[in-house]
Homo-oligomer: A and B are copies of this chain.
Amino acid sequence: MTQQTFNVAVVGATGAVGEQMLKTLDRLDFPVNELKLLSSSRSAGKVKTFRGTDITIEEAKPESFEGVQLALFSAGGSVSKALAHEAVKRGAIVVDNTSAFRMDENVPLVVPEVNEHALDKHNGIIANPNCSTIQMVAALEPVRRAYGMNKLVVSTYQAVSGAGADAVDEMYEQSRQILDDQEIDPKVLPVSGDKKHYQIAFNAVPQIDVFTDNGFTFEEMKMINETKKIMEEPSMHVAATCVRLPVETGHSESVYIETEQEGLTVDKLKDLMREAPGITLQDDPSSQLYPLAADAKGKDDIFVGRIRQDLDNPKGFHLWIVADNLLKGAALNSVQIAFSLIQKGLLK
């Protein structure tokens, strides 16, 4: 039996996530027939190698998607808004790693371990959730399924690579300037497009993405709204505070949950994590074992530890959830969605 292969386009091939997308397609043996690399006109003409073949990056245009079966978008919301429907019109299924369509009720928002079934109702576009949402819902879904979930309060410790390669460069350059007692000149973080920029090296900045009218940032609103949509729990209490740290790659999250039903214990929660796909339990206080961002970098799994039962509420539990924000938080989850589409016979 010959395995079916697919014509794939990667839109935003030169970005931090696009880079990981190519690596992930390769190392997970995704059945690629022809690979098209698309980008803005600025990066067009550059050459990338995939499985030994040099591929010249082309400027993304509506016609670029002729003959494409799967289009993986990670070139920013405006590119997705301009071109995703064009790709669908030409017969492609789009997996979009921007926030452009995530809350569109006609677009499934998918973490395969959580809501693979949502793919069945797709209309051509499938949204990949925000990095900080993915790792949290993937770790918590087994708990929600078994015991229900009434409340989820998260405080994040997010890495700068989520803000792009420029942010990583700024963090390292600024760190060196501070170590050398030089002046610093923040230009990228916390949000490159916002008015003010602040020191990220040796600091903790409670702003990721711009502010919305209610005082929450867009990043916080993404976590809140996406979690409810993916878990299909519109009335669950979800709250988030998102903070940028001087960490290159690897988002950490301090999560407090309250289950609906009684009966969950730390041991049972650990068992749920051991059995969950894509989760590695790292939890042994006696040997100081807990997840660390610096260790999660480059790994596919989501790492969970510091599991504690709340001391005042027996239905309350605390967890520390860490994952590589460029992999499970972005490229890996997109490629996993594509595999799910194949398995379900939805990618043709």
**Residues of A at under 8 Å CB distance from B?**
153, 155, 157, 172, 175-176, 179, 190, 194-196, 198-199, 202-207, 211, 214-216, 224, 236-239, 241, 243, 245-248, 252, 254, 256, 266, 285-288, 290-294, 305-313, 316, 318, 320
Contact = CB atoms under 8 A, between A and B. Distances in A.
A307 B196 CA distance: 19
Q: How many copies does the complex hold?
A: 2
B155 A254 contact: yes
Contacts of A294: 198-199, 202-203
A113 to B, nearest CB: 23
A66 to B, nearest CB: 44
A276 B241 CA distance: 24
Contacts of A266: 215
B311 A224 contact: yes
Given A155-B155, A287-B196, A238 B204 contact: no
A215 B307 contact: yes
A195 B153 CA distance: 32
A305 to B, nearest CB: 8
Contact of A288 (B194, B252, B285): B194
Contacts of A198: 288, 292, 294
Contacts of A194: 288
B241 A204 contact: no
Contact of A312 (B155, B238, B290): B238
